[in-house]
Amino acid sequence: MALVPLGTELPLPWLFLDTTLELDLTARVYLGFTSVVWLAAGLYAAFGDRGGPAGAPLARAGRFDALFLIAMAGNFWLIVGQDIFSFYAGFAMMGIASYGLVVHDGSTAALRAGKVYLVMALLGEVTLFAGLVLLASEAGTTQPTPADLTGLSSATIVLLLLGLGVKAGMVPLHLWLPLAHPAAPVPASAVLSATMIKVALLGWIRFLPVGELALPGFGHWLTLMGLATMTLALPVGLVQRDAKVILAYSSIAKMGFLMLILGLALVQPALAPVAVAGIVLYAAQHGLAKGGLFLGVGLRKHAGAAGTVAQALILGVLVFLALALAGAPLTSGAAAKYALKPVLDGAEWTWIGAAVAVTTVGTTLLMARFVWVAAGLRGHAEPGWLWPLTAWGVLAALVVLFPFAFGKPAGWLSNAGPVGIGVGIAGAIALLAAQRPRLMAPLVGLVPPGDLLALLMPFLTAVRQVGVEFLDELARARAWLDGLAHRVFDRIFGSPGGDVEHGLRRWPVAGALWVSIGAMLLAALFAGREIGTPSTAAEAPTPVRAETLPEHAAAPAPEVAPAPEPAPVAVQRPVPEAEAAPEPEPVLEPEPVTEPAPAPAPEPAAEPVPVPETEPVPEPVPEPEPEPEPALPEPEPEPEPETEAAPSPAPPTVATPEAAAVHGPCDPPRPYPFSTGGSTLEMTRCAPDGEPLAAPVLSRELVRAVQQALADAGHNPGPIDGLMGPATRGAIAGFREARGLPAGTAIDFALLDALKDTSAPD
């Protein structure tokens, strides 16, 4: 890890949607202290106690080891993963596997703590998942840069704050933390408190526009929530009697302090660079110190008999780690808090510095309470603790060297005033407790672990009781309705009835049935007559037309034969002549059908002079169209070719020109190639029905090809990842404006043609 250059990337395009692993400066610091804590806790778990009863079977230890490694893999993955999917996948792996670590003991307290942890963890993961999905949709990429996060909506920011706030122990979402940490085995408690809760800060730094955009509303809210978290955790932790519970509340208080710093950075983006660097450094210091404190509690119980030199040495190291966590001078805590001093001094709320100083006094008192409880632990010597002691010693040595390696000399002696006040108050309380132990005894255990959850238990119990009573009443009501339904059914169908046929034969019943059936028949009869009358009226004119036509056609029988030929051509098609059945008989003679083909137009031109030939023509015509027939006799030879020529061009204008204009480009359909970067995509410009398309079907390959072509043309489309982000839309709009295309950000064939012209060789 230390030998890998900064900025080294490992692309994994086959994983999720193009996963990328990268080691930037923040990831390097996080991965450094996280791996050290996991290594020390792993050695403790491998050679020491796993939290199970004496003589636990190997299967129990194997289950713990598997869950421990899965949680570690998820923690490492979300640190080096730079995309949204990697962060969430690692977060989920770590969170779900930790449930198995919490309930590993199998005791009643562990199962209760596991239930609370699982509910809160799933609630946080679902909320975080919704926020990350919205973030990807709004940023347009799964690997957002700080500039891509400036357009996030308020809903997305709220979901990210709440989803990660559960893991960070934000009040009132901290209920799981003081229950899960003491219930889990010592190595699991160490990694839960030292490394896992820190990933919330990493997620906020990566997925919130820290330093890019001022968010005073969210910044003030996060600042106040951090202050409330510290204010609640410190006094509640002081009255606890379990050393691991005290350390859990200490972790909640420290996470509240870092939330406060991050909130100030959201309010004033100018403070963001110093705030982010200070948060990462403080998280590393707290992770090393808190991991050493949790492992030291286990060693205090198992690594040596009471009163031995080993126990005294372990207690001395615990005192040093507690002072480092409180921020005493010449410790890592003082150096880490000094790095955040510019953020506190530059805050618009001038009272923030005083509030933090008061919390430093509270943290000192809390660490004094931890040392008091740890000193009262009675250990017993067990074999096989050499390697856990060695790993713990290396961890404590790193805490000793931390201020000299990463701190500034000006910060070595800082924070002396608040810590000194806290030590003085703690000494006075210790003397008072030694002189009058009964005076302080009522305060111990005053607030049980889980504080707010314990206060809410009476209310939750009352709600459960009301729900149980409501369900009981609902069950009784259902039973009453079922009984009523059974009684009604038995009343109607249960007892046998009398002679039903005899009842139907009675005069009132039979008469009513007869009247009803007769009324229905009469109604059907009248309805049928009403339906039939319009049909007879419609059929009446057709025989009249059929009779009038043969009367006129009977006198000039030989000469009318050529005359009806133009009549069916001009009249029968628009007029529903198919209803007149008698007309086809005089028309279907073979002679008139064959005569118009050889006879052009001049031979019958002399025959239309007699009146009887032209008079019968207008008589059948006025019914469909009266206008064209009287116009025929005035221009004797000329109007006939005009009327014949008028319908002849009509068919081609209906069929061919429009079809050719619409379906020509797609007949036959040809593939549309689009080449860029040495690869060619083939698309179609025709819909399945033959209609041309204005735009192709979007795909990730097409978007990536367009992004590459835009980059070749000198327009910056952002990351070439196949996603339509804001940068890609801006590049399309700029290219269309430069090429004189209609304004817009869509990918259509006009844009592809222009890009092909741009990429074509000169």
For 645-663, the pLDDT digits (tens) are 344 443 443 334 444 344 4
Amino acid present at 280 = V
Return the pLDDT at 617: 41
**Cα first-last separation, the chain:** 49
Return the pLDDT at 57: 57
Q: Look at residues 255, 244, 346 and name the one whose alpha carbon lies nearest to residue 298.
A: 244
Return the pLDDT at 6: 79
Say how far apart CA 89 and CA 15 lie, in whole Å. 11
Q: Using omega within 30 degrees of 0 as the cis cutoff, is the peptide bond preceding 668 cis?
A: yes
Return the pLDDT at 503: 59
Return the pLDDT at 58: 61
CB 144 within 8 A of CB 19: no
Return the pLDDT at 507: 66
3-state helix vs strand vs coil in the chain, percent to 5:
70, 5, 30
CB 90 within 8 A of CB 128: no
Both tokens of 419, joined, read: 């810590």
Go through the chain and tell me how many residues it has.
Answer: 762
Say how far apart CA 537 and CA 529 lie, in whole Å. 12
Handedness of CA 350, 354, 356, 359 (dihedral sign): negative
Q: Using DSSP, how many helices (H) and how many strands (E) does the chain show?
A: 32, 4
Both tokens of 197, joined, read: 């809760």
Say how far apart CA 117 and CA 408 lie, in whole Å. 39
Whole-model pTM? Answer: 0.64
Return the pLDDT at 500: 54
Residue spans of the chain under pLDDT 70: 1-2, 49-59, 304-307, 457, 494-507, 528-665, 667, 677, 759-762
Say how far apart CA 329 and CA 412 lie, in whole Å. 6
pLDDT per residue over 619-639, tens digit each? 444 444 444 444 444 444 444
Residue 11 phi/psi, 5-degree rounding, is -75, 135
Say how far apart CA 641 and CA 632 lie, in whole Å. 10
Return the pLDDT at 707: 87
Return the pLDDT at 490: 75
